[in-house]
Amino acid sequence: MDNVKIAVDAMGGDNAPFEIVKGAVDAVNEFGSNIILVGPQETVEKELAKYTFDKSKITIKNATEVISTDESPTNAIRRKKDSSIVVGLNLVKNSEASAFVSAGSTGAVLTGGTFIIGRIKGIERPALGTCLPTVSGFTFLLDSGANVDCKSTYLLQFAKMASVYVEHVMGVNNPTVGLINIGAEKEKGNALTKETYELLEGSELNFVGNVEPRDIPFQKADVLVCDGFAGNTVLKFAEGLSSALISIIKDEITAGLYKIPAAFLIKPFKNIKKRFDSEEVGGAPFLGLKSLVVKAHGSSKAKGIKNAIKQCEIFVEKDIVLKIEEQL
Amino acid sequence: MDNVKIAVDAMGGDNAPFEIVKGAVDAVNEFGSNIILVGPQETVEKELAKYTFDKSKITIKNATEVISTDESPTNAIRRKKDSSIVVGLNLVKNSEASAFVSAGSTGAVLTGGTFIIGRIKGIERPALGTCLPTVSGFTFLLDSGANVDCKSTYLLQFAKMASVYVEHVMGVNNPTVGLINIGAEKEKGNALTKETYELLEGSELNFVGNVEPRDIPFQKADVLVCDGFAGNTVLKFAEGLSSALISIIKDEITAGLYKIPAAFLIKPFKNIKKRFDSEEVGGAPFLGLKSLVVKAHGSSKAKGIKNAIKQCEIFVEKDIVLKIEEQL
């Protein structure tokens, strides 16, 4: 991957710049990645000085501004021309980098990605994909929050993009596609899901029908499509409910008749956390742009950033943009 | 409550008629309820013969047909005039009963309720309410599945109906109302939630703003409103995810380093199950009709039916229909 360079927003997320820079260094040392760290020159240099790595593999692109998560994305992208997000996206636009990773403001990354890098010709709406853990693996959810109001034609494109991604980046052969819907039968759901069902059924995708929300954790399909409002609801509710349930269960077990010591639960709950660890994937790919943009979780640590960089490299290597174009 | 009679569908749900008839008998013995059991005379008589109770408190209304969950609701309501659901709803329509409880086909109960009993004047869409357990109590979710495509004016009415219900039936003073939305800020969300936010903000309800899906389990509001697609997604996903998580956690704990015996977990998990027990409430009230219809869970046992009957009695006693009319 010597000619593939990944631009990384050194200033994005709750743990920037420390964890971001560390993740970039880890990617260099583990995968031999080529990285451009985008952020204030001095700050990034100071972070890099902490590590040992092949200096030819990381360059710094100076960017003096930072976009915070509470700014209006459109205004921030327009005004903060020297922010790490805008500068990073411009590196991709100008072919100085092949992809961009940021753990910063989701809105700014998506808006900036669409305006600066631009959509693949024919794609109506780019969409954000998330790997949702299931009892037996993962399911790739698209759209998980970029498009709150959707048409059925968008959802058909989401299904196509997600199938390409899951097949070539995640290595799932001929991935199954499900439509999130309240009811298993074709005629169930709202206007959007009924129309989308028809389109998916008539496509060449490996469509397996509606997937009811109660079945989402049970791996009924490799790809799940829905509008971004439903997708974000599922994603965020899963986070909240898991954390609520885990705390309730811990309380009940340690307070129970047998008073199982809390220490006995550390390892099992660590394993559970690992099974649901979003850092294993590293980030949500924003699919449908001319180049890949990965939105890493705001709380990303080095491991998440490292894996997001790897994800970008596979994406470029397998020429996913071309494969998506072929699907349209 | 001597003049209040509750009609109960003896043939609805997975455990009919046994658990339904038992629940009715329990309500008579515990609350002194007056009940009309609707179903095939002989079948119901045979069930009733198993119990001791004040015979003046339960009558049987013969109904020879049963609507199954896989029938088209509209066709079934139109054709099966002698089904327990249609006969039961007609008892309410003709003022022979004050409310109707059924654990049968949700579609048939909602469609039949709307067509036979009819909407309160001014109500655009009746909606199904569900008590969702939280870490510290419950939150009342409306609509949880009756209306998959909604306008903002429907959601405003849902909020009004739910506030009346939660205040007077569940006893929560001046209940807080939240709008399920992906994002805490006013300007976040889709077209529907943005419009609804404005309406709720301008109302006299105790509106506390958007509630993000990740916060749903943490009791941010007593009432949560959303369209029926989002509500049903939340409800059913909660069921699926809880059951997936609980099984994963049990596996990890019993397989862990300390090999905690599975028997030690029986009591804690029983307690957890109890905290999330829908039978404690007994059913989902279908609000906005001229009389109350309660849709009990398909898997309802006697306890759920008994509590659904109690819920109906409070509803009638507190004159909730009148209070909803006053809110419009």
Q: Supply the DSSP string of B143-197, one letter for each residue.
A: -SSS-SS--HHHHHHHHHHHHHHHHHTS--SS-EEEEE-SSSSTT-S-HHHHHHH
Q: Return the pLDDT at A251.
A: 79
- SS3 for B118? coil
Q: Measured between beta carbons, which residues in chain A are less than 8 angstroms from residue B245?
A: 217, 241-242, 245-246
Nearest C-alpha in B relative to A213: B237
Distance CA A7, CA A4 (A): 10
Q: State the smallest CA–CA distance between residue B123 and chain A in angstroms.
A: 21
Nearest to A213 among B135, B236, B246 (CB): B236
Among the ranges given (A249-253, A283-287, B322-326), the one the predictor scored with the smallest mean pLDDT: A249-253
pLDDT at position A328 over 90 = no
Q: Measured between beta carbons, which residues in chain A are less than 8 angstroms from residue B193?
A: 229
Cβ contact, residue pair A135, B247, below 8 Å: yes
DSSP secondary structure code for residue B260 in this structure? -
Distance CA A290, CA A296 (A): 19
Cβ contact, residue pair B233, A230, below 8 Å: yes
Please report where in the chains the tokens 């009957």 appear, as a residue.
B309
Average pLDDT over residues B230-234: 96
Parallel/antiparallel/unpaired status of strands B284-287 and B206-211: unpaired
Nearest to A260 among B135, B237, B264 (CB): B264
- Rounded to the nearest integer, the mean pLDDT of chain A is 93
Handedness of CA B81, B84, B90, B93 (dihedral sign): negative
Q: Return the pLDDT at B130.
A: 94
Among the ranges given (A107-111, A182-186, A210-214, B93-97), the one the predictor scored with the smallest mean pLDDT: A182-186
Nearest to B256 among A245, A268, A275 (CB): A268
Burial track A203-219 (b if 16+ CB lie within 10 A, e otherwise):
eebbbebbbbbbbbbeb
Which of A143, A245, A254 has the highest number of chain B CBs within 10 A, making it the mutation to test binding with B? A245
DSSP lists the bridge partners of residue B8 as B37, B101
Distance CA B132, CA A239 (A): 17
Average pLDDT over residues A21-47: 98
CA distances from A220 to A111, A176, A215, A299 (A): 32, 8, 7, 29
Which of B143, B149, B249 has the highest number of chain A CBs within 10 A, making it the mutation to test binding with A? B249
C-beta neighbour count of B246 within 10 angstroms: 17
Please give the CATH topology (third level) of the domain spanning B128-277: Isopropylmalate Dehydrogenase (3.40.718)
Distance CA A135, CA B233 (A): 19
Distance CA A97, CA A81 (A): 18
Nearest to A237 among B237, B249, B271 (CB): B237
> To the nearest 10°, the Cα dihedral for B145, B150, B154, B160?
40
Please give the helix or strand (H or E) that residue A154 lies within, else none: helix A152-168
Q: How many residue pairs from chains A and B have C-beta atoms closer than 8 A?
A: 159
Nearest to A213 among B135, B217, B233 (CB): B233
Cβ contact, residue pair A240, B216, below 8 Å: yes
The domain segmentation of chain B, as residue ranges, is: 1-123+288-328, 128-277
Nearest to B214 among A236, A248, A255 (CB): A236
Q: Return the pLDDT at A39.
A: 98
Average pLDDT over residues B170-178: 96
Burial of B143 (0-12, 13-18, 19+ CB in 10 A): buried
CA triple B299-B304-B310, angle to 5 deg: 150
Average pLDDT over residues B293-303: 94
Residue A227, amino acid? D
Percent of chain B whose pLDDT exceeds 90? 81
Which of A125, A197, A246, A252 has the highest number of chain B CBs within 10 A, making it the mutation to test binding with B? A252
Instruction: Look up residue A311 and give its two tokens.
Output: 């994800």
pLDDT at position B128 over 70 = yes
Whether B242 contacts B217, CB under 8 Å: no
Nearest C-alpha in B relative to A190: B148
DSSP secondary structure code for residue A318 in this structure? T
Question: What are the strands, taking DSSP E only, across B17-136?
Answer: 34-39, 58-62, 99-102, 127-134
Phi, psi of B323 (to 5 degrees): -65, -35
Nearest to A234 among B135, B237, B244 (CB): B237
The answer to whether the bond into A143 is cis (omega within 30° of 0) is: yes
- pLDDT band with cut points at 50, 70 and 90 for residue A92: very high
Please report where in the chains the tokens 């980098």 appear, as a residue.
A97
Instruction: Give the contacts of B283 (CB within 8 A, at least 6 positions apart).
Output: B101, B103, B294, B295, B296, B297, B300, B304, B307, B308, B311
Q: Return the pLDDT at B278.
A: 63
DSSP secondary structure code for residue B220 in this structure? -
**Looking at the domain that runs over A1-123+288-328, which CATH code has it been given?**
3.40.718.10
Cβ contact, residue pair A258, B252, below 8 Å: no
Instruction: Look up residue A18 and give its two tokens.
Output: 């420390």
Distance CA B127, CA A18 (A): 50
Phi, psi of A144 (to 5 degrees): -100, 20
Distance CA A150, CA A192 (A): 8
Nearest C-alpha in A relative to B190: A148
Q: State the smallest CA–CA distance between residue B190 and chain A in angstroms.
A: 5
ipTM over 0.95: no
B47 compared with A259, residue with greater pLDDT: B47
Cβ contact, residue pair B230, A229, below 8 Å: yes
Cβ contact, residue pair B268, A246, below 8 Å: no
Query: Among A132, A75, A176, A143, which Cα is nearest to A288's?
Result: A143
Q: State the smallest CA–CA distance between residue B42 and chain A in angstroms.
A: 35
Q: Measured between beta carbons, which residues in chain A are less than 8 angstroms from residue B257?
A: 264, 267
Which of A68, A125, A237 has the highest number of chain B CBs within 10 A, making it the mutation to test binding with B? A237
Among the ranges given (A209-223, A241-255, A297-311, B167-181), the one the predictor scored with the smallest mean pLDDT: A241-255
- pLDDT band with cut points at 50, 70 and 90 for residue B328: confident
Which of B215, B252, B274 has the highest number of chain A CBs within 10 A, making it the mutation to test binding with A? B252
Average pLDDT over residues B91-104: 98
Cβ contact, residue pair B236, A212, below 8 Å: yes
- SS3 for B256? coil
Q: Measured between beta carbons, which residues in chain A are less than 8 angstroms from residue B137?
A: none
DSSP secondary structure code for residue A120 in this structure? P
Residue A155, amino acid? L
Instruction: Look up residue B328 and give its two tokens.
Output: 């419009």
Among the ranges given (A285-299, B191-205, B217-231, B247-261), the one the predictor scored with the smallest mean pLDDT: B247-261
pLDDT at position A302 over 60 = yes
